[in-house]
Amino acid sequence: MQDRSLTRRTILASATVVAAGVTGVVGVTATPALAHNRDASLKKIIKEMSLEAKIGQLFVPYFYGTSATDPSADDREDNLRELGVATAAELITKYHVGGVIYFSGWANNIQNPRQVAELTNGVQKASLSLPTPIASLISIDQEHGANVRIGSGATQLPGAMALGAGRSLSDARTAGQISGIELAALGIHQNFAPVADVNVNPQNPIINVRSFGADPEAAGRMVAAQVKGYQSVGVVACAKHFPGHGDTAQDSHTGLPVITHTREEWDRIDAPPFRAAIAAGVDSIMTAHLQVPALDDSNEPATLSPKILQGVLRGELGFKGVIVTDALNMTGVRTKYGDDRVPVLALKAGVDQLLFPPNIDVAFNGVLAAVRSGEITVARLEESVLRILRLKDKVGLLSGSPYISQKEVDRVVGARKHQAIAARIADRTTTLLVNKGETLPLRRKQKKLLVVGASPAFPTDAARTSIPELTKVFGELGYTTTALATGRAPTAAQVDEAVAAAYGRDAVVVTTDNVGPTSAQRTLVARLLETGVPVIHLAVRNPYDIAQLPGVRASLVSYCWTEVELRAAARVIAGRTEPRGKLPVPIQRADDPTKVLFRSGHGLSYDD
């Protein structure tokens, strides 16, 4: 492949980025002449590709298993049932796919960094064995915070809303750099982050804390900072979900949301983060499966809308990079058309990458039939292939070796330096909302704690949950702690048990997760307050929980339940660090949502 594209040294300068102790590689901005020469080389590759190989480059499917060639018996069975092949290697060989996406949990792709590296090497070996040997662009959703795929062994960083509360562009960029450096060490060169949606709807079930906040301009600055962070170290960033998923109470995984913003409201609320991402040079943008009548009154979801993708995104906003669909298995894009037509219509609308088709054989052959019939021209197909190869070339996948060194994985992924920086960033995000009677920080004599409440599992490790983690951290800080996980829907018996356990304690730390007006978590908190024992409330996800909890005298938000955020919150509660975070969203009153309980920017310190 060396004669077909520019070398990695040409695409990526051997420069160094040092930001808060992070070292990486800086991408070079191509001159017009360099870009022309690069495209000429890439077009030669495309000319040599078969039609099937060109179509395959568009697809980014999932698969089951920790190995590309030797998955477990259960994973092999799942692959055969859903993909028609037994292994990831067979998937790549049969459909010439241009990339794959890794998932933890249900897909069983991720156990630990060393295993991920081996999986990557297996994927690349299969890709380089194709008739036209082109390395895979491996993707992942490693947003951090509430959406993490690689957990144990990798550095965990505060998620978007926590970074929004920290209000530091430097921290946002550094978080992107650290994440990008570790992903690149694992051979993952496309991260579907950052989220560019502006969360102006507190009832949003799918975006919420994945957003940087409710202020469009502030969110845009954070999005741009993260884009620069990822791409400065050779990882493709992806701003999502265009044209904006922040003002809906419906999840596009299960339905087709409608954004009712006027065109003026869209320009003012939804567009700024995407404009900022494009100005920052973002390499890819993901579509949303939702309707925006102000942008397209045809009722097509944005993923299938030429008016939105070609007219607005490419035409008005001037985006020239890769457009990738959100997952094509989601209900929001499957409401009107069959799985053979959805990828065809997406390509006709202007999409380049087709992510997570629910049936790869149906989707692939649907596109193949459309090209053979002339519905999609070969020229249109090659436009998308060229954009995808540009990305691969930019991150060095078309020159040199795409294989991963285990020594590099051990040296980089989860490095102590990275974890120390992550902890310092997290210390600037915890937000203190209420502190009546100077309930916080805990006093020296308050050594016996009850830690109780909702205990979401860490995204990649069901065995690790927030109540045991908080208990562990408080123990390390010198407290005697008792743990009692009551979940998001505590029973009457669990509430009684928690109340009984509170007596004799010096303080109670109660966690909540997504408290609604009828939530049993409200009962738990109210009953604990009745004991007279000092109660400290910690929202381990939504900052909006406090609106449902009248009478609380001390309340904090960590914005997520991952270890790095919980540890930061515990340090604040113990008085080891000051609360520094400021709300990036307003919180409305529960009894009258037209009135604001806490304004965006609210956040107490221990000097207040």
d(CA 433, CA 542): 13
pLDDT in the model for residue 459: 63
Other C-beta atoms within 10 Å of 555: how many? 27
Instruction: Report the interhelical angle of 360-373 vs 88-95 (nearest 10°).
Output: 10
The CATH class for the domain spanning 2-412 reads alpha beta
Q: Report which of 531, 542, 534 is spatially closest to residue 573, judged by C-alpha positions.
A: 534
pLDDT in the model for residue 608: 83
SS3 label, residue 394: helix
d(CA 137, CA 385): 12
* Domain boundaries defined on the chain: 2-412, 430-598
In what side-by-side order are the strands of the sheet with 284-287? 238-242, 284-287, 322-324
SS3 label, residue 170: helix
Q: With cut-offs at 50, 70 and 90, classify the pLDDT of residue 11.
A: very low
Rounded (to 5) percent helix, strand, coil in the chain: 40, 15, 45
For residue 431, is pLDDT > 50? yes
- Going 81 to 384 to 285 to 6, the CA torsion angle's sign is positive
pLDDT in the model for residue 16: 30
Other C-beta atoms within 10 Å of 302: how many? 30
Q: With cut-offs at 50, 70 and 90, classify the pLDDT of residue 349.
A: very high
Tell me what the mean pLDDT of segment 149-177 comes to: 96
Let me know if 241 is a catalytic residue. Answer: no
For residue 433, is pLDDT > 90? yes
Kindly report, residue by residue over 130-159, the tens digit of the pLDDT. Answer: 999 999 999 999 999 999 999 889 999 999
Q: With cut-offs at 50, 70 and 90, classify the pLDDT of residue 31.
A: low
Tell me what the mean pLDDT of segment 100-110 comes to: 96
Q: With cut-offs at 50, 70 and 90, classify the pLDDT of residue 32.
A: low
pLDDT in the model for residue 254: 86
Q: Are 588 and 596 in contact (CB under 8 A)?
A: yes
- Percent of the chain at pLDDT > 70 equals 93
Other C-beta atoms within 10 Å of 115: how many? 16
pLDDT in the model for residue 353: 98
Kindly report, residue by residue over 51-74, the tens digit of the pLDDT. Answer: 999 999 999 999 999 999 999 999
Q: With cut-offs at 50, 70 and 90, classify the pLDDT of residue 21.
A: very low
Kindly report, residue by residue over 514-566, the tens digit of the pLDDT. Answer: 999 999 999 999 999 999 999 999 999 999 999 999 999 999 999 999 999 99
- Percent of the chain at pLDDT > 90 equals 89
Bond before 32 cis per omega within 30 degrees: no
Which token pair is 607?
């000097």
Kindly report, residue by residue over 485-511, the tens digit of the pLDDT. Answer: 999 999 999 999 999 999 999 999 999
d(CA 422, CA 413): 13
Active-site choice (78, 215, 296, 326) = 326
* 155 secondary structure, DSSP code: P
Query: Residue holding tokens 């600055």?
Result: 221
pLDDT in the model for residue 36: 74
Q: With cut-offs at 50, 70 and 90, classify the pLDDT of residue 93.
A: very high
Q: Are 559 and 162 in contact (CB under 8 A)?
A: yes
Q: What phi-psi label fits residue 416: left (phi over 0), alpha (psi between -120 and 50 degrees) or beta? A: alpha
SS3 label, residue 392: helix
pLDDT in the model for residue 12: 30
Kindly report, residue by residue over 281-296, the tens digit of the pLDDT. Answer: 999 999 999 999 999 9
Query: Residue holding tokens 């008016």?
Result: 307
Let me know if 297 is a catalytic residue. Answer: no
pLDDT in the model for residue 567: 97
For residue 411, is pLDDT > 90? yes
Which token pair is 288?
């949303």
Tell me what the mean pLDDT of segment 349-376 comes to: 98
Kindly report, residue by residue over 184-226, the tens digit of the pLDDT. Answer: 999 999 999 999 999 999 999 899 999 999 999 999 999 999 9
Q: Report which of 535, 559, 540, 557 is spatially closest to residue 604, judged by C-alpha positions.
A: 557
Other C-beta atoms within 10 Å of 587: how many? 21
User: CATH classification of 430-598 is 3.40.50.1700, yes or no?
Assistant: yes
Active-site choice (253, 267, 410, 506) = 253
Can you say how many angstroms the Cα of residue 601 is from the centroid of all Cα atoms in its chain? Answer: 24
Q: What is the pTM of this model?
A: 0.94
Average pLDDT, the chain: 93
